A and B are shown apart, each in its own frame.
Chain A
């Protein structure tokens, strides 16, 4: 069974610093990997989706990399802002046609002004 791990569980950084969030998975046979953001009491918002054939995806200040062979993905958030405070989850997609996602437990990020 695919295991998805996110370390650290919590992270606090001063405003302006770059954020580096890690995600590791045990089975390299994945369909894709998706990063989400979750604000307290809200649903998950999709940030980036990386297909298994891709090495990275970028959107604005966000960049996600994927290294299937080592079972790792990293989400970089440049020049962090207090509004970036949230929990960030990664999820690995299975290779069947359903594309079911296996989630990590998330990293809770606080950006202090």
Chain B
């Protein structure tokens, strides 16, 4: 099916471990985004990308790394997970800057 697929849907990891959240979209959208959603903070932008090999930091990038070697994939890596990174992570994409933003169903990450 077309759309944005995030995997895994749920993930439990330990403090200090590296974990990668996957995002795959089938629309060939140029722009892709990673947000985290927390009670009391709402949705905050972590990283974004305008095309393959073009990425930039958002509002809360510390502790995260992204890559985009292919247009359709935009993985998010937590290099050394901390409890403060326990959150729901959403990937999103759009065709261009002024077009609607479409979201995946999210990954619920718990860091113990």
Interface residues of A (CB under 8 A from B): 31-32, 34, 36, 42-46, 49, 51, 89, 91, 93, 96-101, 103-106
Bound complex: CA of A44 vs CA of B96, how far in Å? Answer: 18
User: DSSP majority for the B interface?
Assistant: strand
Please, how many angstroms separate the alpha-carbon atoms of A106 and B99 in the complex? 21
Q: Do A101 and B42 touch (CB < 8 A)?
A: no
Contact B106 A43 (CB under 8 A): yes
Taken together as a complex, chains A and B put the C-alpha atoms of A34 and B104 apart, in Å, by 16
A106 to B40 Cα, complex, angstroms:
11
| Cβ contact within 8 Å between B42 and A103 | yes
Bound complex: CA A34 to CA B90 (Å): 17
- Bound Cα distance from A79 to B102, whole angstroms: 26
In the complex, what residues of B have CB within 8 A of residue A45's CB? 103
Interface of chain A: mostly helix, strand, loop or mixed: strand
Task: Give residues in B with beta carbon < 8 Å to A.
Answer: 4, 31, 33, 42-45, 48, 50, 56, 58, 90, 92, 94, 96-106
Evaluate contact between A98 and B101: CB separation under 8 angstroms: no
A34 to chain B, nearest CB (A): 6
- Say whether A99 contacts B106, CB under 8 Å: no
Could you tell me the distance in whole angstroms from the C-beta of A111 to the nearest C-beta in chain B?
A: 23
Q: A99 and B31 in contact (CB under 8 A), knowing A93-B98, A104-B42, A105-B42?
A: yes
Task: Give chain A residues whose Cβ lies under 8 Å from the Cβ of B4.
Answer: 43
A105 to B38, CA, bound (A): 10
Shortest C-beta distance, A53 to chain B (Å), equals 10
Q: How far is the CA of A79 from the CA of B97 in the complex (A)?
A: 33
User: Given A96-B97, A103-B43, 17 other A-B contacts at CB below 8 A?
Assistant: A32-B98, A34-B100, A34-B101, A43-B104, A45-B103, A46-B100, A49-B100, A89-B43, A91-B101, A93-B98, A97-B97, A98-B31, A98-B50, A100-B33, A100-B48, A103-B44, A106-B42
**Interface pairs A-B: 9 shortest CB-CB:** A99-B97, A43-B103, A103-B43, A44-B103, A43-B105, A46-B100, A105-B42, A49-B100, A97-B97
